[in-house]
Structure 1
Amino acid sequence: MRSLIFLFLLSAIFSCNSNSKSSENKLVNADKKDFTKEELLEINREREMVEFKLIEKYIERRGWEMERSGSGLFYSVYDSASTPGPKATEKRVATIEYVVSLLNGDTVYTSEEDGLKEFVIGMDHVENGLHEGITYMRVGDRARFIIPPRLAHGLAGDRKKIPMHSSIVYDVKLVSLK
């Protein structure tokens, strides 16, 4: 198990071209010792910083204006309904049209192929970042969310189309609230 964690962390750090020599040294010597809780937390913080830089570059390349919430969700309501509908709040049932893609541009899920998504805000099993992002919207609004791995599918991915430790991009229209 330790060797799998080591290989994952090593590949994640090197694949992101991190300039942190201290992280590289920790990982290179990882097979010779156990990680302390503090070392694992530091490696995780460094990995999150690398991911946020990748997301910021993605946003910059597209010329999008997005805000970042305290949790780390990047969001933008880019098309407000001409007649503002009710605001999305927890415990309401949201129905959305969506396109989900990866930062490399691959589209992985769409409502056109998979049907509209319906979920109870704050309660059902969808990405935490989607729960949060929807609360910035009103019925009829269109928004984009870039959800970092810890607010999406985490280290495992969704074991279908979303790879391990992937940020995902949601383009969403809030169709209705119940």
Structure 2
Amino acid sequence: MKIIKLILILVIVGLSGCKSPEARRPVTQSSGSFINESIERNRELVAREEAQILEIIERDTLNDYVASNSGFWYYYNTKTTDSTNTETPEFGDVVRFDYDIKELDGDVIYAQGELPTKRYAMDKEDLFNGLREGLKLMKEGEEVTFIFPSHKAFGYYGDKNKIGTNVPIITHVKLHSIINESNNNPNN
């Protein structure tokens, strides 16, 4: 009798041990609402910044602003009238320029001369998105004032110095020179 009970217990334990494993369910489930809320916050931020920028443009009757395809606005302080000077920087060209940075209300963040003259290899070095795109529109000797919404400027992180989170900026840029990549390459 004891042997039958022992065999019966072993069979029950053996059968219950052969059960296939069940998948564990997460304690909490995410519905993606955080991402959707973040997208909505960013849309509101962009709309608010663009409204501020368009208000500035509307009040400024002295300058003719151009809306770029890249999502920023600009006007020429000095535009080249030389018909032979049609060259704009392309990938790999080295440009030399000066610039300053202001907030939309005109408060100076970096004054002209506070930032050193910059040498920049187009699209090969780090530069904030808006200025990188803006330089591509300029010719040697031109001065342009750009208005960048924060996502085209320093965005969420700022410059980790004087520019904070999500700050739209006004930048005055003077392009001194463009050195073609082909002239800059010692292998040619």
| Conserved? CA contact 2:103–2:170, under 8 Å | yes
- 1:159 is aligned to 2:157: no
Tell me how far apart the structure 2 counterparts of residues 97 and 136 of structure 1 sit (CA, whole Å): 15
Q: Structure 2 matches for 1:133-144, cutoff 5 A? A: 133-144=134-145
| Total equivalences in the alignment | 146
How far residue 119 of structure 1 moved from its aligned partner, in angstroms, is 1.0
Tell me how far apart the structure 1 counterparts of residues 147 and 53 of structure 2 sit (CA, whole Å): 8
Tell me how far apart the structure 2 counterparts of residues 163 and 106 of structure 1 sit (CA, whole Å): 14
Match of 1:58 in 2: 56
| Conserved? CA contact 1:78–1:142, under 8 Å | yes
Match of 1:108 in 2: 109
How far residue 99 of structure 1 moved from its aligned partner, in angstroms, is 1.8
Tell me how far apart the structure 1 counterparts of residues 33 and 158 of structure 2 sit (CA, whole Å): 24
Higher helix share: 1
Match of 2:93 in 1: 92
Larger C-alpha radius of gyration, 1 or 2?
2
Match of 1:121 in 2: 122
| Conserved? CA contact 1:87–1:137, under 8 Å | yes
**Counterpart secondary structure, 1:113:** coil
Deviation track 1:55-84 (CA, whole Å, cap 9, x = no partner) reads 111222233321222331112233212433
Gaps of 5+ in 1: 1-32
Q: Structure 2 matches for 1:70-89, cutoff 5 A? A: 70-83=69-82, 84=85, 86-89=87-90
Given the two structures, how large is their TM-score scaled by the length of structure 2? 0.70
Letter in 2 for 1:68: A
| Conserved? CA contact 2:95–2:176, under 8 Å | yes
Gaps of 5+ in 2: 1-30, 180-188
How far residue 112 of structure 1 moved from its aligned partner, in angstroms, is 1.6
Tell me how far apart the structure 2 counterparts of residues 76 and 59 of structure 1 sit (CA, whole Å): 10
Tell me how far apart the structure 2 counterparts of residues 114 and 43 of structure 1 sit (CA, whole Å): 33
The runs of at least 4 aligned residues of structure 1 exceeding 3 Å deviation read: 33-36
The one of 35, 38, 61 aligned to 1:37: 35
Identity among equivalent positions (%) equals: 29
How far residue 39 of structure 1 moved from its aligned partner, in angstroms, is 2.6
How far residue 109 of structure 1 moved from its aligned partner, in angstroms, is 1.8
Tell me how far apart the structure 2 counterparts of residues 98 and 85 of structure 1 sit (CA, whole Å): 22
